[in-house]
Amino acid sequence: ETGVTQSPTHLIKTRGQQVTLRCSSQSGHNTVSWYQQALGQGPQFIFQYYREEENGRGNFPPRFSGLQFPNYSSELNVNALELDDSALYLCASTPDRGDSPLHFGNGTRLTVT
C-alpha cells in the first residue's frame, strides 16, 4: 500500500510569484484535503476535493485554488504569494468523505521571501 506522497519537499519563492504543490493520495483513497501549518501552530483546513470536485473550503482567499485528477492525485496552487504564506503545506487523503482518519503526507515546506 503506497502512502501519501508530496512534492517538492522544500520550495523557496519570491513574494508575488505563483506556486504549485503536488500530492499523490494513498492507494484506494478518493478524497484529498489540504492544510496549511504555520510554525508552532496546528494545521488549518484549506479545502477538500472529492472525485475531482471541490467539496468544502476553509477561510482562505481565492488565490488558493486546487485541482483533483481522475487518479485522485491533487494540486494546490497559490497565486500572488505573500510573506505570510510561508508554511508547511500538508496533504491528507481518506477513502471517502466520511469520518475516516486522515492519512498525511510529509508536507511541502514553502518559504516566501
Binding residues (CB under 8 A) for other proteins: these are: 4, 33, 35, 41-45, 48, 50, 55-56, 58-59, 88, 90, 92, 94, 97-99, 101-107, 109
- Smallest gap from residue 76 Cβ to other proteins (A): 15
**Block residue for cell numbers 505570510:** 84
Which CB sits closer to other proteins, 18 or 106? 106
Q: Nearer Cβ to other proteins, position 15 or 85?
A: 85
DSSP per-residue letters across 65-110: EEEE-TTS-EEEEE-S--GGG-EEEEEEEESSSSSPPPEE---EEE
Closer residue to other proteins, CB minimum distance, 19 or 46? 46
Beta bridge partners of residue 54, listed in sequence order? 49
